[in-house]
Each structure stands twice: as C-alpha cells, then as structure tokens.
Amino acid sequence: MKTLALSMAAALTIGASLCASAASISNNDNMNHENPFLTPYNTIFEIAPYSRIRTSDFIPAMKAGLKEQEQRLQTIIKNRATPDFDNTILPLEDISPILERVVSAYFTYDNALSTPELSAIADEAMPLVNEASNMVYLNDELFKKIQYVYDHRNEQNMTPVQKRLVEKYYRQFAERGAALSPDKKKELVDISNELSRLFVKFNKNLLAATNDFFVNVGEDAVAGLPESSLGVAREEAKTRGLDGYVFTLHAPSRLPVLQYADNRDLRKAIYEGYINLASSGDYNNLPVIQQIVALRDKKAKLMGFDNFAQMMTSRVMAKTPEAAEDLLMQVFTPAVARAREEVADMQAIVDTEGGNFKIAPWDYYYYAEKVKKQKFDLDETEVRPYFSLDNVLKGLFGAAEKLYGIKMVEIPDAPKYMDEVTVYDVQDANTGEHISVFMTDFFPRASKRQGAWMEQIQSAGEYDGGVMKRPIVYNVGNFTRPSGDTPALLTLDEVETTFHEFGHALQGMLTKAPYKSLAGTNVDRDYVEMSSQMNEHFAFTPELLKEYAVHYKTGEVIPDSLIRKLDASSKFNQGFVTTELAGAALLDLEWGKQSGDNIDVIAFEKSVSDKIGMPEEITFRYRSPYFKHIFGDDGYASGYYTYLWSQVLEADAWELFEQNGVFNPETAASYKKNILESGDTEDALILFERFRGHQPDAKALLRLRGFE
C-alpha cells in the first residue's frame, strides 16, 4: 500500500539511525560512531541529531544516564549544608541531561516511527526508564532533604513560584511511595516494572492488530465513497497485490467508509473489525488488561487507597472519582437524550427509503451525514475541498499570529526523524526573537500509532549552570495522504483535531514558567486539555475561514453560504459525540475501581454499558482492548474524564471570547498571560478565575453543546 511503501522508505532513509545492521553503515563507520546522546547536541536549537541516532545507541545511553543520575543524586545527598531550594530542589530539575536526551528521543521514535529494531529493545528499555524514576523517587535520604525544605519553605527566602515547585516535588515523592517502608518500596518497584512490560505488550498488540486487518472489495461495493478515499484504497490494494480496493482500520481509511459507503455490509465489516480490535488471536489484549487492572489495584492499596481510581483522582482538580462521575453524569444524561433524538431522525430516513432495518452502530456516521444534508443542506464532500492541509496550516498559524503575536518560520535543513517532518522556528512576530521549535508529522504509517498528539521533546526552563532553554514541541496526526493531483484534504473533524493539538503546542511553546517541572503542559491532567479544546473554536470562526478556507482547484474563498451552514450545524450530532466520550470516561473510572485478575473484560464492559444506560446504537469511544489512553500507559488511566472536565473550563472561557470578539486583543492577551504562559506556577483555578473573572460554570458546557 502507499502508506506502507512510504513508511518503509522512511525507515530506510533513517536506516543509519535506527538499524545498526543497515547496509549503508560500514564496519569502519560502526567503529568510529559516537553515541550522540552522551554529549550536548551541537545542532540548531539543540534539536536531536536524528541522522546520527542508531537503535544500538539507546540502551548504552540509558545506562550511562543512570550512572550520571546516581552521581548527581549523591552530590545532593552528601551535601552537608542545610537543605534549601538551591542545593536540593533546583539540582533535581536537571538531574541527568543524558537521560533526558535519550528518553525523549526514545519515546518520539516509539510513538511515531516504531521500527521492528526499536520494538525489539522495548523490554530492556522500559525497565531502565523505570529504574531511573525509582532511583529518584524512592530514595530515602533524598526524600528527607526534600521534606526538610518543604517543612521550612515559609522560613527560607523563596519566591512564590519556588515554593510551588517545592510543594510539587514533595507531593510527587509522597504519591510515588517515598514514605513507604523498604519492603513495600520493593513491592512497588516490582509492580511498576511489570506494568511497564504489560504496557509495551498492549501497545505492540494494538499496532500489530491494526496493521493486520483489512477488507478487500470490488467496484460494486464502494458506491458513495469520495474519490480521495477510493484513491488511497486502490493504492492499498496494489501494494498488497490485490485487485479492487482495500480498506484498513487506520482512521483515514476507516472513517470515510463509515460515513459515506452506501454498502451496509462494508460499513459493518469495518465497524466490527474496529470494535473487536486486539480482542482475540495472536494480538489479544484481554489477558493483558486483566493483569494491568490487578496490578493497579495492588499498587493503589500499597499506597493506602481503596482503589486505583481513588489514588489517581486524588492528585488532580477532581480529588475523588465520585466528583468526576458526578460531572460526567451531568453531561451524559442530557447527551443520551439528545442522541435518542438523533437516532429518531436517522431512523425516519431509513424508513422513508424503505430500508426495513433498525439503526445499528455501523449506520450512525452514514445516516448522520444524511440527516445533516437534510437539515442543513450540508454535505461534507462539498466542504472538504476548502480544507487542504496546507491551507489549514495557514489558518492555524495565522490565528496564532493574530492572537498571540507569533510567526512560524520553516527551517528546511533542521534535523528531523524522517523526511515528512516539517520543522519551524517559532518567533516573536514583532522582534524575531526565538520562542520555540515546532515540528509536524501528519500522515499515517504502519510504524506510527493511531490518533493525534502533542509532545514536548525539550521543556522550557532552567538547565545546568542556570542556562534558560526554550521548548521543542511537536504535533503528530494521521490524516489522509495526497493522492495523484489531489492534496491532503482534511475532514471537518481533522481540521478540529489540527487546531486541538496545536492548542497543546501553544501551551508548551509560549510558557514563561522558570522551571521545567512547572512549564508548559506540566499541569494537572484535568486542566491540560483546556488550552487544546479552546483552540478548536477558532478553526471555524467566519473571520478566519475567510482567510484560509480556499478551494484547492478553483482558488475560490469559502462562500458565505457554506459558512452559514457550518455555523448552523455546529451543534449537530453532539448527542453522539458527547455520549461516546462520556461513556468511555465512565468506563475508565469503573475500571479504576476493580480488583482481581480474572475479570471478564467483555462482560464487564457490558455491565458498565447497562449501568449507565449507553444507547445500543453507540459504542464507547474506545473499547478496552484498544483504549490506549488508559491501558497503553498510566497517563490518562482513571483520568479520561479530564477531557470533559476541561471542556467545562473551555466552554466558560470561550463565552468570554464570544462576548468581547473572538480576536479581541485584550482578551487574547489575558488568555495568553494567565493560561498559556503560566504553566503550573499557580493553582489552576486561580489562573482560570483571573482570566474569566469567576469560578467555572458547569452549565457553560451544556450551553455550548446545545443541551440547555
């Protein structure tokens, strides 16, 4: 397939960097090769020298980083001076430059370009990453010093931001078991190591299962699909040596089938392939989930909590799983009511057409599109030609310049982990001052995990010797590739996703927090999604659409009639969208309450669905075997609810932009200062109230979704 061919080409392009046995590397080169992670990068803005990185560099560099970290920890511990901010807390901010460089690069590759060679070292790499964390967070002598600084923080001469950093370190150490007895610490280490192994297995299974599934059909089965989708499917079939069309579970292939394919059997095949992903066979994640749930329960009890959900919510704004569930149900109940209205509208079309069947989950996208056409005279195939990726990026960057005074200047010769990556110097639009490095990687590959995300390769803040560095941030997506003379055309959902992830990037890039642990997106999990979801709103504002939404063939600016249709339909299908999201968040919290290692995953999902009243026409946004947010690592585990929690903040904040004018400079300046630049330098609620003028109004979300 085209995607696979490009993926393999990319892997060969960086063969010297990821495969020590690559033919392009001579034995002499191997003898003279220097591990690039062991010294500071001598590149523009200290971007990783990707062309010099090899798979064989990662493990030795991690081990060297562990030694460096141990030496620096001993320096802190053996210091006989009274523990204070400068001799105890500040050194922890840059405890091992080697580890920071190698671990950052490792996860970049693991998520975006996971070659077989890289995948093979995961079982050795992840325990080393855990060892690095445990070496710090479970060190008794270090914790005693941190506790002393914490206990005397009001007596020592610290700024408010320094006090907050001390409090954050103390809380994080306590949360990770620093106060446990030696035997319990050992048990915690064993549990964490085993969880890391299971996370690796879950992710490997998911990637393999996704790449393994395809549906091959002929011309008679593809009526209704847009040419952009058919072109990719034809190329996919050719690559596999097959006739006709091949559709896969990657979003650019799967979603057009569900949305446009007239053939109900094809829609059903793709839908069932997706919802049963990694649920059986060689790539079965069900037993992996059972083990993860059991280990998390043990970990929570070891830490003094009743269950994992209680432990995870105690660390963020929600504080308890009950508070998170209460918010979710306030949104879920009206969302389900709206979804039932949406289904009734769809069923009416089925009946009118003589379909003689009841709306099923694989019909939802398809008939939602028909209802949208009927109600708003809006056909997404009519809109999509106005949203080429290049034009969307112009709108994205143009909005950022208008709102926050930054401009994006491409750096063609900058290091990159593959040719498809684009690298930008983010500058102050008035002075040209360097603010950040920003990278983009937008097309699917067999070696890239699904979805879209933002990561910080380098955080802003103070480094060794008081050096202040600016961030390196990247956005990744999985959008439909260009095909023939047709550029990459984004769906409305993909346009929104592009703005969403750039919202995260803005918080990472614009931060002015002086310390890495407080900078950028290093904020509470149930606050971090606010800036990303806020940025989505700008995508479809009439003022901005007129600047970037241009038809790729005719050069015509999007007409007012289409803008009005987009605005009128903006609350369309929100019942479905909100129900599947809130349902997945409730499922996640229920998983966090479970114990035991023999839970029937499928039966458990069914019980949660019945308990909350999930409509039979809608599935959880992610079913457990491919719910990477909560089983691929601990990042969003018992925390997927944070998307909706943050949407309350976002909805309330957006109302201020609407009241004052969406590009009002004073509103934008206040938002930039209090939200995007501040990071975790103050409590999130204080920062929000400073911007908004009042505490978050939960009903703002219901108003935004059209439920009130």
Domains of the chain by residue range: 2-179, 213-277, 314-378+575-640, 385-568+643-695
Task: Work out the average pLDDT over 587-596.
Answer: 94
The pLDDT score that the predictor gives to residue 14 is 25
User: Mean pLDDT over residues 63-70, rounded?
Assistant: 98
Q: Which long-range contacts (CB under 8 A, 24 or more apart) does 270-273 make?
A: 270/215, 270/362, 271/361, 271/362, 272/362, 273/213, 273/215, 273/249
Q: Please compute the mean of the pLDDT values over residues 201-209 and round it to a whole number.
A: 94
Region 447-464: mean pLDDT is: 91
* pLDDT value of residue 249: 94
The mean per-residue pLDDT over the stretch 631-655 comes to 92
d(CA 280, CA 440): 34
Distances (CA, A) of 27 to 195, 278, 561, 623: 38, 41, 65, 48
Q: Give 246-299 pLDDT, tens digit per residue.
A: 999 998 899 999 999 999 999 999 999 999 999 999 999 999 999 999 999 999
pLDDT of residue 8: 23
Q: Residue 123 has what pLDDT? A: 87
pLDDT of residue 31: 66
Instruction: Extract the tokens encoding 42.
Output: 């001598």
- What's the pLDDT score for residue 318? 81
3-state secondary structure 164-189: HHHHHHHHHHHHCCCCCCHHHHHHHH
Percent over 90 (pLDDT), the chain:
82
User: What is the structure's pLDDT at 26?
Assistant: 27
Q: How far apart are CA 15 and CA 13, in angstroms?
A: 5
Read off the pLDDT of each residue in 524-530 and give the average, rounded to a whole number. Answer: 87
Length of the chain (residues): 708
Q: What angle do CA 336, 338, 344 make, to 5 degrees?
A: 105
The least confident of 16-30, 103-117, 410-424, 485-499 is: 16-30
H or E element, residue 217: strand 214-217
Candidates 1.10.1370.40, 1.10.1740.10, 3.30.460.80, 3.40.640.10; CATH matching 2-179: 1.10.1370.40
- pLDDT range class, residue 27, cuts 50, 70, 90: very low
CATH topology of domain 385-568+643-695: Neurolysin; domain 3 (1.10.1370)
Check residue 13 and give its pLDDT.
23
pLDDT value at 387 more than 90: yes
Residue 240, number of CB atoms within 10 A of its CB: 13
Residue-wise pLDDT for 307-342, tens only, equals 999 999 988 878 899 999 998 999 999 999 999 999
On the question of pLDDT at 9 being above 80, the answer is: no
DSSP 557: B
State residue 19's pLDDT score.
Answer: 27
User: What is the pLDDT averaged over residues 83-87?
Assistant: 97
- Strands 472-476 and 434-441, how do they pair? parallel
Residues 6 or more apart from 244 whose CB is under 8 A from it?
A: 216, 217, 218, 219, 237
- In which band, very low, low, confident or very high, does the pLDDT at 380 lie, cut at 50, 70 and 90? confident
Matching fold, domains 2-179 and 385-568+643-695: yes
675-685 pLDDT, tens digit per residue, is: 999 999 999 98
Look-up: residue for tokens 């790729």? 552
User: CA-CA distance, 360 to 582, in Å (whole number)?
Assistant: 20
- Per-residue pLDDT for 143 more than 90? yes
Residue 30 has pLDDT above 70, yes or no: no
Would you say 565 and 541 are in contact if contact means Cβ atoms under 8 Å apart? Answer: no
- Residue % of the chain over a pLDDT of 70: 96
Choice among 46, 236, 342, 501 that is catalytic: 501
501 an active-site residue? yes
DSSP 119-167: HHTHHHHHHHHHHHHHHHHT-HHHHHHHHHHHHTTTTS---HHHHHHHH
